[in-house]
Structure 1
Amino acid sequence: MGPTRHVVYDARYLTAKPTGIGQVCREILRGLVRLPDAPPLTILARPDTPVPEEAAAAPGIQVVEAPWAPQGAANQRRLPGLLRKLGARLYHGPDVFNPVAARGAALVVTVHDLIPITCAHLLTRSRKSRFLPLWKTWLRLQVSRAAAIVAVSRFTAKDLTRILGVPARKIRVVHNPVREWGTVEAPAPFRRRMGLTGRVIATAGRQDPYKNAAGLVRAMPSILRRCPDATLVVAGPPDPRYPEASREADRLGLQERVRFTGWLPDGDLGALYRASDVFVFPSLYEGFGMPPLEAMRFGTPVVASDRTSLPEVLGDAAILIDPEDPEALAGAVVRVLTDRALAAHLREAGPRRAARYSAVEAARAYRAIYRDLLDSPTERSGP
């Protein structure tokens, strides 16, 4: 490894069915290689999941396979040695599963949220929340070892200081970029293929209780009284630990008006965003909140929670409501479905808002962090 190759970016969170963090990894890589003075970069990747071709083929890029999962014990044993072999001066871990038992390259850690701590009462079936003291200790190790901590919102930065005592001077805020889509299926054929008629209300995300999909289902009877042709489409992987939303639909007799699609590939998810009359995101807690921005990118009006990071991220381009008030939620959805002027305003405001969160802007902010650390005489604290 030549002496000029300083930065190692861990893209192993990008899998065949990537989570939100995996999607962010993909966009950050695209942004970094588009910079006119892109830094030399080594990308760690899974053997079965290629990094974006645009990144892998860029000058100054080396892709190295690391076949063990970043969340596993093997990562703690094996990654420090690999970083030494690569001659890394800086390692960027896009989540909080970075090695803590060895020193070497400076660690940049991105923290997306503290939900296992802040929402432990809602996640009693989650391993992180069941072992809350251990998880807190682990997070404190991560942030104490990091040379720089990146929070994906000002809200998450405040949580890091309030809950873990991280000094504000150690935290940088870099908003996540909205992912790019190619051409997606037009609304009419997508609706026909999915068997959707009438007005379409969409939501997307995991089934964890803090996402509050069950709360949106509970608002549907009120919505249907005023918009009887509406259908709610819930996109996202099922989770047998958290069946509340589907049980609520059964309890209310809404099997014909609430559709659970399961996980959708990018093309179908983009087509759903585009084909929907309104996208609803009633989450009780977010560190950032990507799905409503993705819907905005397609010009779909958004109704979202007024909690945590969402007002910061969405601004005045969405209707913000109390997610625990079913009537307020239903009323906002009905307003969008029945007020053409309001819907038109949101369709114009949303894409402008989403455009603020570009891959290049995020990459530029990360590059500045890398440069600051590589120029610092105290850079070497980390894996």
Structure 2
Amino acid sequence: MKRPHVLRLCSVFEPPDAVLAHGARFDPIGGMQNHTGQLTRALAARGVRQTVVTGRPPGAPRRDAPSPGVVVLRHGLRLRAARQLYCVGAARSAWRHAPGLDLVHAHVGEDLAVLPLARMAAERAGAPLVITVHTSLHHTFVAAGLRARALKAVGGRIEDWAERHCAQVIGLTPRLAERLIDGGVAAERVRVIPSGVVPAEFAGDVADPFPQVPRPRALFVGRLHRQKGIETLIQAAAALRGPLVVVGDGPERAAAEAAVRAAGIGDRVYFAGFRPHHAIGAIMRHADVLVVPSVYEELGTVVLEGMQAGLPIVASDTGGIPGALGDAGVLVAPGDPVAFAAGVNRVLEDRDEAERLGALARERARAYGWDGLAERVLEVYDAALGFEPTAAELVAVA
């Protein structure tokens, strides 16, 4: 069967290592970046031609071809605010490349532009639209503050409108799929396909990237943003039984570093900054516990990566995390630094329990390999293009 030519629209995409030279302040590591990059590679390996239209972090080329049959077109100004100005160039690019497309696939997060752009491109191409909801501004986004409440109100309406005019909707978790169906999306148009991992990235012996940091150590990987619970984590750090390594960058880094200095724990918290995604496996293999203190998280790729690495995980009991982690980790209330510190210390002090949780996590991670997930995305594309799905291709939502 001939593979489709897909236009992938996403406000963020896996950045090249070149962003390191520019401070990596534009959310260089995050679930959607990893998801879109890994999915694009996995589909390219299956012969799917893809044009990716996305935002441009500082230091990233405007155009590159990371895989055979894949072209990435990045747009946007070098601003730390109003990053959605990428949509001006992205609209021109999507319009120009729409003719000849077979399908448009939009990835939705906290962005107001991507869905109108995707709908426009699909209409111009006469092609079906598939939407992957990474964060639902209508159903699951937790709004704190005036800006976030306005984003939720406007973005929720845009999301509802787009979901009524698309061929298929992919939710990362059964929880989200249920809410989409309850919100009026026909059940036969909803699929559950989570983010995934590449097992090879977590295999083999590698050198410790942080030999200067004592063991046992706790690890945080992600954007330094309020959504990720970085404030809670810093408050918990003083009570941890071992040092904390913070890998990532973002708008809350300066505040987090200031809080560490104010607490007098600068010798116990190590800010490693942004590291390219291919380095995360090695970092995790030399950690003793992964901490995920997110305020909300639809799924959390870092959770899946920690599971693949066989790490015990202490995470917020929020969003899709409990469904992915199950009994292979310690769940605590989001925003509770005392509970997080207690959970981490429990794992650091009881190595038998840590090994048990790590083994359970690694076993659960087997369901999240990108090879299998890419095949499921291809089945969604077939359904959107009018090929008759089999019963096995329809995902039941419990």
1:173 matched to 2:195: no
Q: State how far apart, in whole Å, the 2-side matches of 1:118 and 1:153 are.
A: 11
Deviation at 1:101, TM superposition (A): 3.6
SS across alignment from 1:369:
helix
Q: Residue 48 and residue 215 in structure 1: after superposition, are their counterparts in 2 closer, same or farther (change >3 A)? A: same
Q: Residue 198 and residue 151 in structure 1: after superposition, are their counterparts in 2 closer, same or farther (change >3 A)? A: same
- RMSD over aligned Cα, in angstroms? 3.1
Deviation at 1:135, TM superposition (A): 2.1
Q: Residue 131 and residue 341 in structure 1: after superposition, are their counterparts in 2 closer, same or farther (change >3 A)? A: closer
Q: Residue 351 and residue 236 in structure 1: after superposition, are their counterparts in 2 closer, same or farther (change >3 A)? A: same
Asked whether the 8 Å contact 1:7–1:92 carries over to 2, the reply is: no
Residue deviations 1:49-70 (CA, integer Å, cap 9, x gap): 64544xx1xxxxx334545469
The correspondence for 2:218, drawn from 181, 201, 217, is 201
Residue deviations 1:154-205 (CA, integer Å, cap 9, x gap): 122234345x54343332111111145547896764232xx21232111111
Q: Which residue of 2 aligns with 1:234?
A: 246
The correspondence for 1:63, drawn from 44, 49, 70, is 70
Asked whether the 8 Å contact 1:122–1:209 carries over to 2, the reply is: no
CA radius of gyration, larger in? 1
Q: Which residue of 1 aligns with 2:52?
A: 44
Deviation at 1:5, TM superposition (A): 5.6
1:114 matched to 2:136: yes
1:191 matched to 2:189: no
Q: How many residues align structurally?
A: 352
Runs (5+) with no aligned partner, structure 2: 17-27, 55-60, 77-83, 389-398
TM-score by length of 1: 0.80
Q: Residue 156 and residue 279 in structure 1: after superposition, are their counterparts in 2 closer, same or farther (change >3 A)? A: same
Q: State how far apart, in whole Å, the 1-side matches of 2:107 and 2:230 are.
A: 27
The correspondence for 2:167, drawn from 139, 147, 154, is 147
TM-score by length of 2: 0.77
Runs (5+) with no aligned partner, structure 1: 57-61, 378-383
1:217 matched to 2:224: no
Deviation at 1:217, TM superposition (A): 2.0
Letter in 1 for 2:244: L
Q: Residue 259 and residue 178 in structure 1: after superposition, are their counterparts in 2 closer, same or farther (change >3 A)? A: same
Q: Residue 11 and residue 178 in structure 1: after superposition, are their counterparts in 2 closer, same or farther (change >3 A)? A: farther
Q: State how far apart, in whole Å, the 1-side matches of 2:35 and 2:3 are.
A: 23
1:93 matched to 2:102: no
Q: Out of 279-288 and 172-181, give the one that drifted further.
A: 172-181
Deviation at 1:356, TM superposition (A): 1.3
Structure showing greater relative contact order (alpha-carbon pairs closer than 8 Å, 6 or more residues apart): 1
Q: Residue 105 and residue 273 in structure 1: after superposition, are their counterparts in 2 closer, same or farther (change >3 A)? A: same
Q: Residue 72 and residue 129 in structure 1: after superposition, are their counterparts in 2 closer, same or farther (change >3 A)? A: farther
